Structure 1
Amino acid sequence: MYFLKKGSIIIIGSVFLSLGINLFLTPYKILDGGIVGLALILNYLYNLKVGLMIIILSMPIFIVAWFRYRTYFYNSLHGLLLSSFTIDLFKPFRSLIDISAVFSSILGGIFVGTGIGLMLRHRTSTGGTDLVAQFVSVKTGVNVGIVIFVIDITVIILGGVLISAHTLLLSIITLLVVGITTSLITRKIVHT
């Protein structure tokens, strides 16, 4: 029963994350933070597959997890692979919705934050910086959503070369909503 529940959460979280990215973020070249944000930058610049880039960029983090945090490695591997696959699978959905850019950034943040939060709440993740945030959260007691927010802002600032002032604003709105949504969903996690 435990594995069925965890598998269902990974699938549901991956779908939320994938819809958030493909329906709401990529049509306006809005960035998320962390590994996903870096993968989006590579997609916008070089048209590389977002999901594939997430896997490649997450490899160093997973190597560290293999040696130092084996439980996190196993708990996140399925989330990484399934969410990355789903993101690339849902790419054709990018032109389905036509809404304002601000509303799109808010909805994208809610969807991405919900997907990440659901997985983190059930001790799994998409890996990448979510995995780093889990490490930091366990060591410091700081809420996972807050740690993710700090990492994400850093990526957005680094991605500023790519972004216009309007897109930068939209990305900041998205990050705020992702951070708040993730924090609300993960706030009752008790670390042992």
Structure 2
Amino acid sequence: MLKKLAVIGFGSTMIGIGVNGFILPFHLINGGMFGISIVINYLWQFSIGLTFVILNIPVYLFAYKSDFDYFLYGLIGAFFSGFMIEFLVPLRDVFHLPIVSSVIIGGVILGIGVGTMLRNHISPGGMDLLALLLAKWTKINVGIIAYAIDTVIIMTSLLILQEPRLLYSLLIVSIVGLFATVITSWNHYEK
């Protein structure tokens, strides 16, 4: 239990840093419920953390009926991730990097945070929880499933917001997906 809480703390902090320090300053999005929450924030200025928690409810109800451990640790992971995104809002004005550097650094930080949580069967958000459940049932790497879901979210966001700059978001989810896939693959070779 302590290891899981440490992983949640580390992963949530990395997510908060990546989102606030490197993604939001350029009005970009990442995938999953975070990405959907950010789009809603851009459209209607709703709180990203609160929107994130609310959007997760249906997926968590589904997980509750499917796998209680995934549900429990996913709920804790989503709560702490949402909290850290709100807590680390002051980072939005700290780093002043070119957009490509910010996208790469933000993607790596997010990928490490998300990948570490997924490796330990903890979800930082609803779409990742759905990816964990799908990976359990299909035996497809959770990072690949999460990347596919995130790509659909980014493409949909491009259509809704019609902002060409969001193409950088595809690079973000690619980096996050790569890191999550690599980090979660380590489990298969341990023992």
Q: TM-score surpassing 0.5?
A: yes
Partner of 1:168: 166
Q: CA deviation at 1:108?
A: 1.0
Distance 2:93 2:125 in 1: 27
Q: Could you say what secondary structure the match of 2:187 adopts?
A: coil
CA contact (8 A) 1:62 1:127 kept: no
Pairs aligned (count): 187
Equivalent residue letter for 1:136: L
User: Take 2:175 and 2:82, find their aligned partners in 1: how far apart are those partners?
Assistant: 21
Cross-structure match for 2:58: 60
Q: 1:24 aligns with which of 22, 25, 47?
A: 22
| Residue type at the aligned position of 1:123 | H
Q: SS of the residue aligned with 1:189? A: helix
Contact kept, 8 Å, 2:131 with 2:146, in 1: the verdict is yes
CA deviations 1:3-59 (Å, max 9, x no partner) are 221111110100000000000000001111111100010111122111111100000
Deviation, structure 1 residue 117: 0.7
Percent pairwise identity: 34
Aligned to 1:115: 113
- Could you tell me how far apart the structure 1 residues matched to 2:42 and 2:102 are? 17
Asked whether the 8 Å contact 2:30–2:172 carries over to 1, the reply is yes
| C-alpha distance in structure 2 between counterparts of 1:46 and 1:88, whole Å | 17
CA RMSD after TM alignment: 1.1
Correspondence list, 1:34-73, <5 A: 34-73=32-71
Runs (5+) with no aligned partner, structure 1: none
Q: Distance in 2 between matches of 1:23 and 1:127?
A: 19
- Alignment CA distance shift 1:171-1:163 (3 Å): farther
- TM-score (normalizing by structure 1): 0.94
C-alpha distance in 1, partners of 2:105/2:137? 32
Q: Give yes or no for contact 1:42–1:48 (8 Å, CA) kept in 2.
A: yes
Post-superposition Cα deviations, 1:71-124, rounded to whole Å, max 9, x if no partner, equal: 211121111111111101111110100000111111111111111111111121
TM-score (norm 2): 0.94
Deviation at 1:163, TM superposition (A): 4.1
Q: Distance in 2 between matches of 1:42 and 1:159?
A: 10
- For structure 2, the residue ranges without an aligned partner over 5 or more in a row are none
1:1-192 alignment to 2 at 5 Å?
A: 3-160=1-158, 161-165=160-164, 167-190=165-188
Deviation >2 Å, runs of 4+: none
